[in-house]
Amino acid sequence: MLATRVFSLIGKRAFSTSVCVRAHGSVVKSEDFALPSYVDRRDYPLPDVAHVKNLSASQKALKEKEKASWSSLSIDEKVELYRIKFNESFAEMNRSTNEWKTVVGTALFFIGFTALILIWEKHYVYGPIPHTFEEEWVVTSMLKRAGYYLCHVPCLSGSGCFPELIPLSPSCLRGLFCLWSAEEDTGSRHTAGIAEWGTTTGLLDLILGS
């Protein structure tokens, strides 16, 4: 137990020493964010503290001269007093910057990088597009599903028959699909079943004949 603690202390000591060697033995002083700080903001024109906290000898002499009449101060001295209190003027804060170039360049870089990844995936990752996505296959599949609707077929005896699934030929399916499109164009919202389409002249013969 004691040996384990000794080795752990030696390891911590060696680690702290290596950190100090990498940092050249300097200790970074942490800033106390609980105290007021200086910041340049247009909506807060008077910061709580001055920009320059540690004044030099010339700046201290200028601050003493400030207590007298301002008419004795030159323009350069007034500007220096302003720079002691503030870092930037409103004109400097409102001036345009070239930051938009960095933003646009970064956005274009990532867009181009993403496009390269998509091109690489299309050539080396994804396979060919399935034939079921072709327009002819989709139309044929839709017409085939339309031909297998559950519907009533009127019997020759006049009495109703039980619902049954009727497979239709492709020519008949295209005719039914055209009639359905015509019903939609005229504003009819009811479901056009084969029983309703069967009342059309010649269509029932086409269905039964197929």
Give the model confidence (pLDDT) of 103-114 as tens digits.
999 999 999 999
Tally the C-alpha atoms within 13 A of residue 195's C-alpha that lie toward its C-beta. 15
- Residuewise pLDDT in 10s, the chain (210 residues): 545 554 565 555 544 544 444 555 566 666 667 788 888 888 888 888 898 988 999 999 999 988 888 888 999 999 999 999 999 888 888 888 889 999 999 999 999 999 999 999 988 998 888 888 888 888 888 877 776 554 444 444 444 444 444 455 555 555 555 554 444 444 443 434 444 444 444 444 444 444
Per this entry, what is the length of the chain? Answer: 210
**Residue 37: helix, strand or coil by DSSP?**
coil
For 49, the 3-state DSSP assignment is coil
The fold adopted by the segment(s) 33-94 is Cytochrome C Oxidase; Chain D (1.10.442)
Report the alpha-carbon distance of residue 24 to residue 81 in Å, rounded: 37
Global model pTM greater than 0.75 = no
